[in-house]
Structure 1
Amino acid sequence: MSYKKILITRHGGSEVLQLSEAELPEPKDDEVRVRILATTVAFTDILIREGLYPGVPQTPFSPGYAIAGVVDKLGLGVSTLELGQRIVALTIVGGYSEFLCLPATELVLIPDAVDAVEAVCLVLQYVSAYQLLHRIAKVKPKERILIHGAAGGVGTALLELGKLANLEMYGTASKPKHELVASLGGVPIDYKQEDFVKQIYNLTGDGVDVVFDAIGGSHLFSSYKALRNKGRLINYGFSSALTTKHNRKVKLAASFLLLSLLQLLPDSHPVVFYSIADSKKRHSDWFREDLTTLLDLLARKQIQPIIAERLPLEKAADAHKLLETSAVSGQLVLMCSN
């Protein structure tokens, strides 16, 4: 029996994403074969596609950082799961597929009251947002935060979770997305028409306690200037590296260099880089605990992921184009099987 998956055939633009067929995989000992229902399309997938993300396989391989699916077959030694149970998992790669085999220990059950497509939206963006707020920044009620890309997947998650944490929130976004940012409790700032640093000081008087920056590059220095006394800068992405077609790896390296230089400044502003994959390796208990907390919040309708579009698996290239052009608010989801 064959199944379909999307392959990155070589590193490059969205055209390198190609639909392929392969023989159905068999789970090894202690593994589970998952029939994938949905996978998210994240900016991290674009970095992986472009060859700018470390630690992934050589091409060809399937991208896909997070999945929701159904337990389809159990490998020998698996006793903690049953056929038909719905699960979510952080895969890093492999999610753009109809089936995938994973270690049973990597799977987290979806509560009965939770929609699987909404659940998959929590795995990468919401866990990242939760950990950025509570594990890394360790925010306190009434603190001020600035979120860059506030209408994106992680941005909207930060706003929702920040509101629950009783934070004062500001978010940069293009003008058409200001209504969304405001509806989630943030004060929108038009980064295209305004100097966000000046605007932050106009609005607050002395800056913010935390800046969450997924842009990187020279943008980090501006974010740093928006901090008040003892404020924290947290960098969790490098979208600026994709603003040019050339020297992208050089721009990525320069971004890390600037991050390191900011960490050396003697003015008591902590500067931190966050990666969900690194966090999961160092603190595997955090990931399961935080995802379980978020699934419970979703079941109790205290959070509601914003899904911009649900696209069929074969439209993966179109999804990447939408994300690269900032044409969506919230998250994009690929539907992999019925």
Structure 2
Amino acid sequence: MKATNWQRIELTAFGGPENLKVVTEQQLPEPGPGQVRVKVLTAGTGFTDTVIRQGQYPGVKQKPPFTLGYDWFGMVDGVGSGVSTLQPGDYVADMPVTGGYSQYLLADAERIIPCPAGLEPAQAVCMILSYTTAYQMLTRECALTPGDRILVHAAGGAVGTAFLELARELELTVYGTASAAKHELVRSLGATPIDYRTTDFVAEISRLTDGQGVQAVFDTIGGHNWPRSYRCVARRGKLVGFGALQVTTGEESIPSLLWGFAKLLGFWRLRPDGRATGFYNIQSRREKHPEEFREDVMTLLQWLREGRLHPAVAEVRPLAEAADVHRLIDAGAVAGKIVLDCQA
């Protein structure tokens, strides 16, 4: 093993940000057959990481201690036997769900995504989870055309701002719920903000659309919110749920969420009103359609390289400040996305 000191962020127990600790390793991991060692340049942070930290993410079976970090962008630092498609110096990215908060890691060469050279690392990592999530819902889950109207909840967050910029690229009319502090950001991305704390968004959408509704609603809030979002959907439109934010904040119970799923994936689909419903999870969709995931990530990376996309990076923080970043995310105080600089 190659000797060098490097750091990663370890989750010592499920719970609050205080359980995120800096761990210093003495030896670099050696790639096995079919693997590459990656020097991680940036790691994304966001609401999903906080859900994993709390032990509430259904896709994670690991028990602490383990390294947190849903997605990363980096450079190949070493290759194992049998790897011929990648070499040291190549830029790569992936979305392993855990493991990204680290200066070095091992990854399967066949799974990771090759990236164009010349990308700004803090912007590039935004393409992996946040932008691919939004892009796939806009293009794979819904059949939208220029001029269609959509409603995005949590529009000022990491995925929300990705929705807004991509929707502008696709020539859609966008309404976004957000706290008042994030309205300027929402407007700057071409959307009409709605203050969910002081305004009934159902009534506001009806007013803004002359009672017609929107062609799609993207709702990460949870089962308690989905019925209200459903009321905003126009005939032949679609409601897509993709999270349960209020469960993790304690504002919604598990029974309420399950009842929401029963309506989203069952009862509403039986209604003869022309409206569709569904739930999106990026990991389960990737496992079913890996070729589409790779294609979509590479499309977004190319758009970034061409200057078509400008992610709303709120801050770039050193890896060691991961716990402080999680405190900001928990407080809902991040407009856009905070990125960790893993080599700082």
- TM-score for both structures, normalised by structure 1: 0.95
Q: Which residue of 2 aligns with 1:109?
A: 114
Gapped regions of structure 2 (runs ≥ 5): none
After superposition, residues 1-338 of structure 1 pair within 5 angstroms as 1=3, 2-22=5-25, 23-56=27-60, 57-205=62-210, 206-244=212-250, 249-250=254-255, 252-266=257-271, 267-338=273-344
Deviation at 1:337, TM superposition (A): 1.1
Percent of residue pairs identical:
42
Distance (Å, rounded) in 2 between the aligned partners of 1:316 and 1:293: 29
Deviation at 1:256, TM superposition (A): 3.1
Deviation at 1:182, TM superposition (A): 1.3
Deviations 1:62-96, CA, capped at 9 Å, x for gaps: 11111011111101100111111121111211001
Letter in 2 for 1:243: T
SS at match of 2:293: helix
Q: Is the 8 A contact 2:220 2:245 kept in 1?
A: yes
Distance (Å, rounded) in 2 between the aligned partners of 1:85 and 1:96: 20
Letter in 1 for 2:115: I
CA 1:297/1:77 → structure 2, altered by over 3 Å: closer, same or farther? same
Q: Is the 8 A contact 2:223 2:258 kept in 1?
A: no
Letter in 1 for 2:225: H
Deviation at 1:265, TM superposition (A): 4.3
Distance (Å, rounded) in 1 between the aligned partners of 2:24 and 2:343: 14
Distance (Å, rounded) in 2 between the aligned partners of 1:183 and 1:334: 24
Q: Is the 8 A contact 1:173 1:191 kept in 2?
A: yes
Deviations 1:280-311, CA, capped at 9 Å, x for gaps: 10000011101111111111111111111111
CA 1:248/1:45 → structure 2, altered by over 3 Å: closer, same or farther? farther
Aligned residues: 337
Distance (Å, rounded) in 2 between the aligned partners of 1:176 and 1:337: 31
Letter in 2 for 1:43: F
Deviation at 1:248, TM superposition (A): 5.8
Distance (Å, rounded) in 1 between the aligned partners of 2:187 and 2:215: 20
Deviation at 1:251, TM superposition (A): 5.4
Deviation at 1:51, TM superposition (A): 1.0
CA 1:307/1:228 → structure 2, altered by over 3 Å: closer, same or farther? same
Deviation at 1:250, TM superposition (A): 5.0
Distance (Å, rounded) in 1 between the aligned partners of 2:256 and 2:111: 34
Distance (Å, rounded) in 2 between the aligned partners of 1:20 and 1:306: 30
SS at match of 1:241: helix
- TM-score for both structures, normalised by structure 2: 0.94
SS at match of 2:228: helix
Q: Is the 8 A contact 1:33 1:101 kept in 2?
A: yes
Q: Is the 8 A contact 2:269 2:277 kept in 1?
A: no
CA 1:262/1:326 → structure 2, altered by over 3 Å: closer, same or farther? farther
Letter in 2 for 1:20: V
Q: Which 10-residue stretch deviates more, 15-24 or 156-165? A: 15-24
RMSD (CA atoms): 1.6
Deviation at 1:243, TM superposition (A): 2.3
Distance (Å, rounded) in 1 between the aligned partners of 2:258 and 2:41: 36
Letter in 1 for 2:274: S
Q: Is the 8 A contact 1:234 1:273 kept in 2?
A: yes
CA 1:59/1:215 → structure 2, altered by over 3 Å: closer, same or farther? same
CA 1:248/1:36 → structure 2, altered by over 3 Å: closer, same or farther? farther
